[in-house]
Structure 1
Amino acid sequence: MSTTTIRLTEELKARIARAAERSGTTPHGFILGALEEKVGEAERRRDFVDEAERRWQAFVADGQVFAWEDMREYLARRAQGERPALPAKKTFGREP
């Protein structure tokens, strides 16, 4: 395990100490937990953005979409426990 030095204001250091005590941990443990939480949040956000970009690129490539009315019916049937087939895709911006 490596060591990293961070500079904290006295006010922040005191706040961390109080929060750690209330949480039943040490300031060191509290800081590590906060960092792990923040890194996880950043990773999930990046994964979300990457997935959105992949989906956008797939849409741009083929222009195929589900009509909202068809998808709404599909989802309603799924919510009722049915196993309907996915609706047919349509080309975006073109009427059937």
Structure 2
Amino acid sequence: MPTTTLRLSPALRDRIAKLTENTETTAHSFMLDAIAEKVANEELRRGYLAEGNARLANLLETGMGVEWPDMRRYLAERARGRSPLPPKATKWRG
């Protein structure tokens, strides 16, 4: 595995050391976990944005969409643990 050097400010280095002081985690492991978590979050964020942009493009292209009151009722039922039928898309522009 290739080596990468991180330049940390003394303050950040001390904060990491303090967090790992009484644990079985090393500062190195802590930093690797933090980087992996940040990468995973960014990948999710970009996926959500891509999906949202694709859905918006589809909505603009087809003119079909779900009215917010219908979606709100559907989501409320899902939050209650029920399995309602998804609302149907309708033409929202001429």
Relative to the length of structure 1, the TM-score reads 0.76
CA RMSD of aligned residues (A): 2.5
Inter-CA distance 77–57: structure 2 relative to 1 (3 Å threshold): same
Number of residue pairs aligned between Structure 1 and Structure 2: 93
**Matches of 1:8 and 1:71, distance apart in 2:** 47
**1:19-53 deviation per Cα after TM superposition (whole angstroms, max 9, x unaligned):** 12244300000000000000001000000000001
Q: Give every structure 1 segment of 4 or more consecutive aligned residues whose post-TM-superposition deviation is greater than 3 Å.
A: 67-84
Identity %: 38
Residue pairs, 1:12-51, within 5 angstroms: 12-51=12-51
CA distance in 2, matches of 1:59, 1:75: 20
Aligned to 1:59: 59
- TM-score, normalised to structure 2's length? 0.77
Q: Secondary structure at the match of 2:65?
A: strand
Change (3 A) 1:40 1:22: farther
Q: 2:90 matched to which residue of 1?
A: 90
Structure 2: distance between partners of 1:62 and 1:12? 51
Structure 2 residue runs of 5 or longer lacking an equivalent are none
- Change in Cα spacing, 1:8 to 1:73, as seen in structure 2 (3 Å) is closer
